[in-house]
Structure 1
Amino acid sequence: MGSVAFGELPTEAQTTDRLIRAGGPFPYPKDGMVFGNRERLLPVKPRGFYREYTVRTPGARDRGARRIVCGGREATRPEACFYTRDHYASFRLIAY
């Protein structure tokens, strides 16, 4: 798994990250839901550790494929966040 600098993320992903740290409000009802890590591409952690958030995709009629998945005890102070542009097929650790 590679990494991506926060400043290199799409603008929409930077906005989503800021919303995560502010505790919302989120534009999609499923934002903040538990992410199961079924693909096992992220470090293995107990269920409930990871939460997923939608990154707006310009022109998409639905939620699109881009997400940020963060892990940690406190949703607004995640231990690590990962960006996926391909709906969980790959992840990159966000470097702040």
Structure 2
Amino acid sequence: MRMSSRLRLIAVVAVLLCAVAAAVLYATGRHHGPAGPAASASRTTTAGTAAAGGVCQSRLPGQARDTLALIGKGGPYPYRTDGVVFDNREKRLPKEPSGYYHEYTVVTPGSGDRGARRIVTGGAGEEYWTADHYATFQRIDARC
């Protein structure tokens, strides 16, 4: 069955509208859908500024809470790379001078290496959680 000229025009316009919508969503950091990094206000925007809210510390995995306790005590840490400067190359955290952020490993049970989970701390005391090796961050809220 052949498409009429009018239906073909409607189809082309629909595809163009979808492309424009996708470009706008990508540019605003909302391109990952409901399960992605822009699904809640607690995630980081593409502009690099942490949005309001965050993840409750009590909702983090036990290993992340253990890492936060070690950070609070100043160590000792399970990996020699814990506490090194995090360069924020992906620009997913607010822009700060080099040396402002430091990263710490969150033990991942069953992983043969350091795994993908980290806590990144900022010079002003802020703490961020990433379960996907810096693809997304949530600011940790210690009040809950």
- Measured on the aligned residues, the alpha-carbon RMSD in Å equals 0.9
Which structure would you say has the larger Rg? Answer: 2
Partners of 1:49 and 1:40 lie apart in 2 by 13
Secondary structure of the structure 1 residue equivalent to 2:68: helix
Find the counterpart in structure 1 of residue 108 from structure 2.
57
Task: Give the percent of matched residue pairs that are identical in Structure 1 and Structure 2.
Answer: 53
Find the counterpart in structure 2 of residue 4 from structure 1.
55
Deviation per CA, 1:30-86: give whole Å up to 9, x if none: 0000000001010100000000000000000000000000011xxxxx520000000
1:36 counterpart = 2:87: yes
Partners of 2:96 and 2:128 lie apart in 1 by 14
1:84 counterpart = 2:130: yes
TM-score, reference length from structure 1: 0.92
Deviation per CA, 1:5-28: give whole Å up to 9, x if none: 000000000000010010000000
1:20 counterpart = 2:71: yes
AA of the residue aligned to 2:137: F
Larger proportion of helix: 2
Q: Report the alpha carbon displacement of residue 93 of structure 1 after superposing the two structures with TM.
A: 0.2
Partners of 1:58 and 1:26 lie apart in 2 by 16
Q: Which ranges in structure 2 are unaligned for 5 or more consecutive residues?
A: 1-40, 43-53
Moved over 2 A (4+): none
Higher relative contact order (CA 8 A, sep 6+): 1
TM-score, reference length from structure 2: 0.62
Q: Which ranges in structure 1 are unaligned for 5 or more consecutive residues?
A: 73-77
State the number of aligned residues: 91
Secondary structure of the structure 1 residue equivalent to 2:120: strand
